[in-house]
């Protein structure tokens, strides 16, 4: 069957175009897909990295005969002007900053498995990133107000909220692939039932509701059949021992650090009667430490190894340089990201449904309007339209809502420079709250000091 090709060339502005992760994946997917003619403008403060990606991207296009060209933009304005799409994938701080986000709380007895979403690390990371995203939002208002904008930067909820706070008419969504993990398990269950490898995760339609990295699924349909009851049974069966489709390769350091055994997912499913749909490391951070973080080894997941992140980053950079210098390109394969499908749908290709982060307009009942929630949305020529997703169970809703409200209040406090509201909000996080208000105040002071070089003066920083 011939693939449907979008007829006219689209322009994509990539903010953070020197990225070693997301940009690489997008370039690969565009090369794999070959039906979306595009001009990609890479913009990055690190011009060398942007140039390197432009070179690699061009090589990938050539190799797969895709009508995708890559240029480097000199300025944000140059990248944005007349863009059809904008991708935002920046790093709010270096790995040193991330290290501080983890190590300072550690000294106060707070364990973080990721540290970039909620908890003390996520909070302070949001503090430094919100002004950056707000600035990008204002540039988009000025130079590309009709562009579709995909944010890939964490903390996703707060930063998508910052874009909307800066430019309420922005056509932005926050994109994250964590829910894919649950879809893989359901596909495995469906295949087990039919006795063969028939379904991929792409055949699993899930009804998503919650907030980024703390998402839930109350229906998971494969071929008209709802597998949620089967999943809940499976969770009960494997709750104690955990389960993975394939064992962790002990030689693979990445897997050792970042893969899990679904024990947190299964435990949450048993407690709340709904499937949790993100990696265990992410889920654990939204709940008091006594739930999972204190026993992370028993629950089979690790804490963020900034040291490994450093080595991994160096290795990725080394490989990118090698490719730039002429080394063989990796084979072009499709990633699990939805980005290219979303772009094509918006450009007039086949409609596409995936879970994204958007301000709540009612799609999650019981959550306040305006907070950023994650649900399915439909991408089509009509735009990005969230689908009504229903409501979370009562006890869980209380936990989710509290995080969403704190994220929203944090965005407002940062943008309105209400410094005095920050500590009370910080204090109300369930990872922070148990250490008591005095410790929390001291810890907050240290964290703000450590990241001060990226914080505006009005919020206690040095900018």
Write out the catalytic residue numbers: 177
Instruction: Report which of 370, 290, 338 is spatially closest to residue 152, judged by C-alpha positions.
Output: 338
Give me the least distance between CB of 436 and a second copy, in Å please.
Answer: 4
Is residue 103 within the footprint of a second copy (CB under 8 A)?
no
Of 39, 205, 312, 446, which one interacts with a second copy (CB under 8 A)?
A: 205
Window 31-50: residues binding a second copy (CB under 8 A): none
Q: Which is nearer to a second copy, 145 or 223 (CB)?
A: 223
Is residue 334 within the footprint of a second copy (CB under 8 A)?
no
Q: How far is CA 197 from CA 190, 194, 200, 203, 245, in A?
A: 9, 8, 8, 12, 13
Give me the least distance between CB of 74 and a second copy, in Å please.
Answer: 31
Asked if 463 contacts 319 with a C-beta cutoff of 8 angstroms, the reply is: no
3 state SS of 9: coil
Give me the least distance between CB of 216 and a second copy, in Å please.
Answer: 13
Most distant CA pair in the chain, distance:
65
Q: How far is CA 21 from CA 117, 158, 321, 335, in A?
A: 18, 21, 14, 12
Give me the least distance between CB of 189 and a second copy, in Å please.
Answer: 15
Window 432-451: residues binding a second copy (CB under 8 A): 433-437
Is residue 424 within the footprint of a second copy (CB under 8 A)?
yes
3 state SS of 331: coil
Give me the least distance between CB of 19 and a second copy, in Å please.
Answer: 28
> Tokens representing 427?
């204090």
Window 384-403: residues binding a second copy (CB under 8 A): 385-389, 393-396, 398-399, 401-402
Is residue 348 within the footprint of a second copy (CB under 8 A)?
yes
Of 32, 108, 291, 308, which one interacts with a second copy (CB under 8 A)?
A: 291
Q: Which is nearer to a second copy, 332 or 372 (CB)?
A: 372
Q: Which is nearer to a second copy, 306 or 353 (CB)?
A: 353
What is the DSSP pairing of strand 10-15 with strand 85-88?
A: parallel
Is residue 458 within the footprint of a second copy (CB under 8 A)?
no
Phi/psi-derived region of residue 152, left when phi > 0, alpha when psi is between -120 and 50, beta in every other case:
alpha
Asked if 206 contacts 277 with a C-beta cutoff of 8 angstroms, the reply is: yes
Of 145, 168, 229, 273, which one interacts with a second copy (CB under 8 A)?
A: 273
């Amino acid at each position: 069957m011939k693939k449907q090709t979008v007829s006219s060339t689209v322009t994509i502005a990539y903010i953070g175009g020197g990225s070693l992760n997301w940009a690489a994946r997008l370039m690969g997917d565009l090369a794999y897909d070959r039906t979306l003619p595009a001009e990609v403008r890479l913009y990055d403060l690190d011009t060398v990295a942007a140039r390197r990606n432009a070179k690699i991207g061009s090589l990938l296009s050539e190799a797969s005969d895709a009508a995708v060209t890559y240029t480097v933009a000199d300025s944000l304005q140059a990248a944005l002007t007349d863009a059809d799409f904008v991708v935002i994938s920046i790093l709010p701080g270096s790995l040193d900053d991330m290290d501080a986000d983890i190590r300072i709380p550690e000294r106060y007895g707070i364990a973080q498995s990721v540290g970039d979403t909620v908890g003390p690390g996520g909070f302070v990371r949001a503090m430094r990133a919100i002004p950056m995203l707000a600035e990008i939002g204002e540039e988009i208002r000025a130079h590309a107000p009709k562009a579709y904008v995909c944010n890939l930067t964490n903390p996703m909820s707060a930063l998508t909220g910052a874009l909307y706070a800066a430019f309420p008419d922005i056509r932005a969504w926050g994109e994250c692939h964590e829910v894919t993990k649950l879809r893989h398990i359901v596909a495995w269950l469906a295949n087990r039932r039919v006795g063969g490898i028939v379904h991929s995760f792409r055949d699993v339609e899930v009804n998503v509701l919650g907030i980024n990295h703390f998402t839930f699924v109350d229906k998971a349909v494969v071929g008209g059949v709802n597998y949620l009851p089967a999943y809940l049974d499976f969770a009960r069966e494997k709750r104690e021992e955990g389960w993975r489709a394939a064992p962790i390769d002990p030689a693979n350091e990445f897997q050792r650090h970042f893969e899990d055994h679904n024990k947190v997912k299964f435990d949450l499913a048993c407690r709340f009667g709904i499937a949790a749909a993100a990696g265990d490391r992410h889920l654990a951070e939204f709940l008091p430490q006594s739930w999972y973080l204190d026993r992370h080894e028993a629950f089979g997941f690790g804490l963020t190894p900034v040291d490994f992140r450093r080595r991994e980053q160096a290795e990725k950079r080394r490989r990118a340089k090698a490719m730039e210098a002429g080394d063989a390109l990796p084979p072009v394969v499709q990633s699990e990201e939805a980005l290219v499908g979303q772009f094509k749908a918006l450009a007039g290709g086949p409609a596409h449904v995936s879970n994204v982060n958007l301000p709540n307009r009612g799609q999650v009942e019981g959550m306040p309007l305006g907070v950023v929630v994650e649900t399915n949305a439909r991408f089509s020529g009509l735009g990005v339209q969230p689908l009504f997703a229903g409501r979370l169970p009562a006890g869980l809703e209380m936990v989710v809502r509290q995080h969403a409200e704190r994220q929203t209040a944090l965005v407002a406090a940062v943008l309105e420079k209400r410094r005095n509201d920050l500590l009370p909000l910080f204090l109300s996080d369930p990872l922070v709250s148990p250490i008591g208000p005095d410790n929390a105040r001291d810890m907050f002071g240290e964290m703000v000091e450590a990241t001060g070089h990226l914080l505006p003066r009005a919020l206690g920083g040095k900018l």
